[in-house]
Chain A
Amino acid sequence: MADFEQTEVSNAQSHAGERYFVRFTRAQRYMHAVLFTTFLGLAATGLPMRFSESFWARRFASGVGGFGSIIFFHKFFAVVLTVAFLIHVKEVFTRGLLHREKGIFWGNTSMVANWKDVKDLFGHMRWFLGLGPKPQFERYAYWEKFDYWAVFWGMIVIGFSGYAMWFAPFFAHFLPGWALNAVLVIHSEEGLLAILFIFSIHFVNTHLRPDSFPMDMVIFTGVESEEEFKTKRPEEYQRVAAQGKLESRLGVKPPIWLLNFSKVVGFTAIFIGLLLLVLTLSAYFGG
């Protein structure tokens, strides 16, 4: 890892001269903030319902005013998340279809999986076992695409089943009776999957693994250092550099207040998430 050594050296020599590149726009960062805030809210109010027999569920529920209030907040966060989801879908289609922006639905910068992602997945796992070189990732690595589509599919499934329960008599006009039983099973299992996945896999893959530990700040600040860019997404870096577009991606080094603010918010979110994970596991395995 020659690159890595250089990083260490350059870090030691001059920190001020480092260049920063934009990875996420302001809108994307806000979207993530809305997403994780509502997700935490939905998890915190959904889990007591899913595990209503557990020792903490009733205490938590009575702490916030009983289940009338639990369900109110659950629906509130659900509506906010639905609006955010619709804004995102509109944005994608506006950029892709209306503005004919390239790379939205296909290509190096798209969220849509391609053959390279399959090769990267197997290549990455070979590297885990010391059987091959580390894959050179593009703008979005395969696990990031998985995260995106898991959330995308999750929101459709959980959202639809949730609204089917909320407006059950209305949905009964075009759903058979047994579907009303099924939506609870689907809603709670898919919700549980989302919670377990985000609070364990996503947290570790994105924030807690040694390369990003303790938190990848890029989703909060929008920018990352040139070294990070180079090591984490070498193929994108080389492609942008080859196109001579590195300059257009240049960003500003994040001010200290933004870093600190992001850390407080981020660590709070991670703490709540891990707490909910522990409670979920205790209820799941504690019976």
Chain B
Amino acid sequence: MKIASTFALILGALLVVAAPRVAQADADCLGCHGDKSMQDAAGHSIGVDGDIFHASLHGSMKCGDCHTTIKDYPHPDQVTPVKCESCHTGEAEGLVGSVHANRAEHPCISCHGDAHTIFPKSDPRSAVYPLNVPHTCGNCHGNDALAKKHGLPNVYPMYLDSIHGFALSKEGLLVAANCQNCHGSHHILSHKDPQSPTYKTNIPKTCGQCHAGITANYLGGVHGKAIASGNLNAPVCSDCHTAHAILQPTEATFRMQSTPICGSCHKDKLSTYRDTFHSQLGSLGGYVETARCWDCHGAHDVLPASDPRSPIAPANLVATCGKCHAGANASFVQYQPHANAHNRKLNPALFFIRLFMNLLLAGVLTFFMIHTILWLIRSRYQQVKTRSAKGGKNG
């Protein structure tokens, strides 16, 4: 018994001497701040869970390493804020010039969470773990009032309902694009900044980080070439797929919303398409599909009809139309999916047929309308006259 207690005493003394003042300091600080419910005068939590802290990325550090202005106990009520950039210089440089550059508005902890519970980004407990990123960003970017204040769309709910959001939240796919994959992390720039990965001309490359095959197709098509040559009117990925509310392209909703997107530039083509059965039936929505723009023109590698690789090149039409119309032949593909019945020069036969039908319709209806109205008046007159002659009730 005596031996044991002596041994313990020596061991304790050894610990005090050899071991670190750190632990000692932590213990001192945690003596007060270990109370997790501790709050400062303003009501902010200033309690620290020692166990979590010691398991965290910063667990080997002592309090004074970050809280450099606190030397003694008791310390003043007001303490200077911790400067993360004293260690994290690269990240701090990245923030300079970014949309989150204002440190007062966007302190590190607004994304990374409480500095005492920081985990590596590969750790599911981390606020910047891929599956947690949307929620972390959504703390601000899912807030209507904040979005309105900064003139930004409220993107978090859009993202959650998108194909990326589903992959991430429902399937837990680590490779599903989260905010950071497209926008970057510290050096986030406005999409108006030519350096930004979300700047129009950079978008194909940004999406191409994952969608390499599609991007290669796109860059070979007319839209990709136009963008590469500096024509900012040409569409990039996000113009058709949207940025945040990206849908599964085979989904009816996407098929319904995309035709007008093509038509926002190709106005004449949209209006002639609207006159066709493809559009009339397609506009009604439902489970069966009629041809939309990209069903014939291709989606990413859109090529002019003069290009032999184009699905609408004359030699390919039988195959292209045949995708839906089994048995399509050379005569069948002479059908004009963008015929304009109002254009006498381009479609004379159609023009005169429409004119004839319209005249027939107007002629028949006009004649019978007059005929019927006169008849009604005369019949009623006759009826009233007959009855009044008899002294009837309608007299």
Residues of A within 8 A of B (CB): 1, 4-5, 8, 48-50, 52-53, 57-58, 61-62, 65-71, 124-125, 127-130, 143, 150, 165, 168-170, 172-173, 175-178, 180-182, 184-186, 189-190, 192-193, 196-197, 200-201, 204-205, 209-211
A123 to B380, CA, bound (A): 18
Binds A, one of B82-90, B91-99, B276-284: B276-284
Q: How far is the CA of A129 from the CA of B375 in the complex (A)?
A: 9
A68–B290 Cα distance when bound, in Å, is 10
Determine whether the beta carbon of B332 is less than 8 Å from that of A168.
yes
Cβ–Cβ < 8 Å partners of A190 in chain B = 357
Q: Is the CB of A193 within 8 A of B360?
A: yes
The 8 A-B residue pairs with the shortest CB-CB distance in the complex, in nearest-first order: A66-B286, A177-B334, A172-B332, A68-B288, A189-B357, A61-B284, A67-B284, A169-B327
For B377, the chain A residues whose CB sits under 8 A away are 128
Q: Quick one: closest B residue to A52, CB to CB?
A: B283
Q: In whole angstroms, what is the CA distance A216 to B382 when docked?
A: 19
Closest chain B CB from A18 CB (angstroms): 19
| Interface: B24 (CB within 8 A) | no
Q: Is the CB of A127 within 8 A of B281?
A: no
Interface size of B by CB at 8 A reads 55
Residues of A within 8 A of B333 (CB): 177
User: Do the beta carbons of A197 and B357 come within 8 Å of each other?
Assistant: no
Given known contacts A169-B329, A205-B372, A69 and B286 CB-to-CB distance under 8 angstroms: yes
Question: In the assembled complex, which residues on chain A have CB atoms less than 8 Å from the CB atom of B290?
Answer: 67
Which residues of A lie under 8 Å from residue B106 when comparing CB positions? Answer: none
A183-B350 Cα distance, complex, nearest whole Å: 9
Most chain B CB within a 10 A radius of its CB, from A71, A181, A204: A181
- Shortest CB-to-CB span from B210 to chain A, Å, is 33
How many Å lie between the Cα of A168 and that of B321 in the bound state? Answer: 11
Which residue of the partner chain, among B274, B332, B354, B368, contacts A177 with CB atoms under 8 Å? Answer: B332
Q: Interface SS of chain A: helix, strand, loop or mixed?
A: helix
Which residues in window 39-98 of B have CB below 8 A to A?
A: none
Say yes or no: B379 contacts A211, CB within 8 Å.
Answer: yes
A52 touches B279 (CB 8 A): yes
Does B16 lie at the interface of the complex (its beta carbon under 8 Å from any beta carbon of A)?
A: no
Q: Mark B376-390, 1 if CB is under 8 A from A, else 0.
A: 111110110010011
Let me know if B372 and A197 touch, CB within 8 A.
no
Q: Which residues of B contact A185 (CB under 8 A)?
A: 341, 350, 353-354, 357
Chain B residues within 8 Å of A67, by CB: 281-282, 284-286, 288, 290
Taking CB atoms, residues of chain B closer than 8 Å to A4 are: 386
- Take A178-B350, A189-B361, A193-B360 as given contacts and tell me if A129 and B336 are in contact as well, using a CB distance cutoff of 8 Å: no
Interface residues of B in 331-362 (CB under 8 A from A): 331-336, 339, 341, 347, 349-350, 353-354, 357-358, 360-361
Given that A61-B285, A67-B282, A196-B365 are known contacts, is A176 also in contact with B277, CB under 8 Å in the complex?
no
Given A69-B286, A125-B371, A189-B354; 10 other pairs, CB 8 A cutoff: A4-B386, A50-B280, A61-B284, A66-B285, A70-B281, A176-B331, A186-B353, A193-B361, A197-B368, A205-B375
Query: Do A210 and B376 have beta carbons less than 8 Å apart?
Result: yes
Closest Cβ of chain B to A13, distance in Å, is 14
Contact B357 A129 (CB under 8 A): no
> What residues on B are CB-neighbors of A209 within 8 Å?
372, 375-376, 379
A contact residues around B267 at 8 Å (CB): none
Q: How far is the CB of B10 from chain A (nearest CB, A)?
A: 84
| B364 lies within 8 A of A173 (CB) | no
Chain A residues with CB below 8 A from B341, complex form: 181, 185
Give the complex CA separation of A143 and B354 in angstroms: 26
If A57-B284, A61-B286, A189-B358 touch, does A181 touch B339 (CB 8 Å cutoff)? yes
CA distance A67 to B283 in the complex (A): 8
Q: Which residues of A contact B389 (CB under 8 A)?
A: 5
When distances are taken between beta carbons in the complex, the residues of chain B under 8 Å from A181 are 335-336, 339, 341, 347, 350
Q: How near does chain B come to A31, taking the closest CB pair, in angstroms?
A: 23
A178 near B331 (CB under 8 angstroms)?
A: no
Write the chain A residue with the least CB distance to B384: A210
Of all chain B residues, the one with the shortest Cβ separation from A179 is: B349
Contact flags B89-129 to A (C-beta < 8 A → 1, else 0):
00000000000000000000000000000000000000000
Bound form: Cα–Cα A201–B353 in Å: 24
- Asked if B18 CB lies within 8 Å of chain A CBs, one says no
The answer for the CA separation of A42 and B61 in the assembled complex, in Å, is 80
Least distance between A190 CB and chain B CB atoms (Å) = 7
Contact across chains for B386 and A178 when beta carbons are under 8 A apart: no
Say whether B325 faces chain A, with CB atoms less than 8 Å apart.
yes
25 CB-based A-B contacts, threshold 8 Å? A58-B284, A62-B285, A67-B281, A67-B284, A67-B285, A67-B286, A67-B290, A71-B288, A128-B375, A168-B325, A168-B335, A169-B326, A169-B328, A172-B335, A178-B336, A178-B350, A181-B335, A181-B350, A182-B350, A184-B276, A185-B354, A193-B360, A196-B365, A210-B376, A210-B383
